[in-house]
Structure 1
Amino acid sequence: MEGCPIRALSLFTGAGGLDIGLEFAGFDTIGAVEADPQARQTLQLNKPNWVLSQTPQLREDNFERVLGEIPGAQNCEALIGGPPCQPFSKAAQWSTGKWKGRSDERFSSVVAMLEIAKAIKPQVIMIENVPGFASLKSGAIRSIRAKLGHINRTEGTNYRLNVWELNALNYGVPQIRNRIICVAFRDGLLLAPPIHTHSAQPDTCTYPVLNCWDAIGDLDNGTEAEEVSQSAKWLDLLPSIPEGSNYLFHTSRGDGEPIFGWRTRYWSFLLKLAKALPSWTLSASPGPTTGPFHWSNRRLSIREQARLQTFPDNWRFAGNYRVATSQIGNAVPCALASAVGAHILESLQISPKEDWQRSLIPSKRVCPEPHPTEPAPMKYRGCSIPADHPGPGKGPGAKNRVLNSTEVS
């Protein structure tokens, strides 16, 4: 089959990264449901033809009303969405010591999505989330399979869940970003994950993995960057940290000043990008000392963040810097979504668009030498060496610690 776009109903749409990529592949988003006011503005700015439900917050008790607000929703062939990831994120576990998983009230959004699936019985259901979503501890996958089994028994369908853990780096995203993609076909199709398009061994794939210079090197002109506020403690250490390193450089096991204890801070503390390496995962809610920072010792601009998520350069984000950063950090990289979308279409014997890889960033092949470092400020030098972390730890907010164990903050 060719030239037959699959109509998609998008839930928890956010800034639209998943939908952009799927449309590049050949899907046709007819309607979206999004609760965040700024994200809704972003969608209206860029896709005025998409119908936004007037009931933004999808729940189990209002899904029928939501369906009625989007013309054609009952006849969509695809139901797609990235439900709130906070119940399953590592960041939440690190900061609180708890991982609510499906016991979190926000998991009800997944249940509401499956109620819509039961009502419209789409050809394909696609759910995106963080790796913790698929852990046995979270119980999310078990709950979804149970709900799909109930739908099959009552509706005569044959949904079977494919669960893939994909690293966006292997699909043309210049960022190490692992995500869970769950796909269920109405006819029960079981499918291997999409093959890699990018690899560190490019002879095994079409393209080499991309680095930060490939993605944002042409934006490094200082004209659109939001400079780091020096009001936050420790930020004046950034110029002394080499590209690709973090606070660990300034520990007894690093090559800098022994300012911090080994593994006593979270990984992204004073984390700096390297031109020749991919980015680490962008955060949706970075603190004042949370990286990744630019190699020029500043925050990443909104456009640089968007590039690292493979958003098109003409995609605009509503809201201030913090709001836009949140939208971008929560988004699905467009290039990853394109690869998944093309794979789904091919499995349904539908040809993807010829230019479905249009969101890919070309490799620049050669990048400049690392940015030079500066000595650590004198106020930090000559201090007593802090103690290293003696155990794995769970972060400063972890509860119910055994005081005599090695789990210290």
Structure 2
Amino acid sequence: MACAAHLLNDMMQSVIPAVYPLLKEKFGFSFAQIGLITLVFQMTSSVLQPFVGLHADRHPQPYSLAVGMCFTLVGLLLLAVAPGFVWILLSVSLIGWGSSVFHPESSRVAQLASGGRKGLAQSIFQVGGNAGNALGPLLAALVVIPFGQHSIGWFALAAVAAIVILLRVGAWYRDRLRTVSGPLFPGASDAVSGLSPRRIRRALLILTVLVFSKYFYMACMTNFFTFFLMERFGISVQASQYCLFAFLAAAAGGTVIGGPVGDRIGRKYVIWVSILGAAPFALLLPYAGLAGTIVLAVVVGLVISSAFSAIVVYATDLMPGKVGMIAGLFFGLMFGLGGIGSAFFGWLADRTSLEFIFRASSLLPLLGIITGLLPDVEARKTR
């Protein structure tokens, strides 16, 4: 159920970048303004998440998930009728607030229901979000692009459905809190043997750099891939949305793979292969023809998306007992860096070209090489 709610939550969020071509044409926005919309949305999604997660670790709030979704509901209804730039910023900020409440607490629910297979549980939870991200552009192409801005209001029905689901999740979570007598997360009291606080901080810094490389690149693809395809190959808005859907659907598929493989062979190796392994395909993408570009985008989405679940679980292994805070920190980093990346690439596209920003962003997955500096947490825990 947490996976289903994640699908609905991220589907509604992904409508925002999916309707950028429509908003750009209707209001005459620049690429910098498009990037600023994403920055406001993703910063409101990110800033509160570590604090929400820390509070959840100390004082779990089972029904906060449904309350947060109410912010998303109001934001969607406002976005459907927003008359200009400032109102659009307000509406996306409300959707962002809802997301900031949803992700840390729901990650705790996922690990609580994992039965010890944390990587698999995080992947199942995360694939819901990635599937929702993929559905957003598809539904925008089928609903919003043909019928206009007001049709965004229909997505409020998804918010209502998510609220109903999260009320049931909250009831299960409340009952679980009442029945568990020991630590809520088994092994939460165990430290990672042999790692000093300094090494743990260093490992978290390396993970932050890896999240930066992944989500700066993803920000370029998610927000400007449609514009790149329309400008370079002359395809229609709807066709470009279908291509974006293919990329995001591949990303959803890759997420399914990363968690369970990480449980089996080690999360460090999944992170390494995921980010650095995407680099050759990302480097080729800006120079390919239309068919090659789509194929390469699918491969990049499939490969690079397997990292995030492994990163989150790896980080919770570094700091056991702080699942909410760590989830909030890394989901917050994901949204925050994605927002900064969108604003940066929007600014850069106005001053250079879309082709230039795709060539520049293709270098980012090369940062995956620093994964080799991470300690082998799983090996230490089994000693």
- TM-score normalised per structure 2: 0.29
Greater RCO (CA < 8 Å, at least 6 residues apart) = 2
Which structure dedicates a bigger proportion of its chain to helix?
A: 2
- TM-score, structure 1 normalization: 0.27
Q: If you compute each CA radius of gyration, which structure gives the higher value, 1 or 2? A: 1
Between Structure 1 and Structure 2, which shows a larger proportion of strand residues? 1
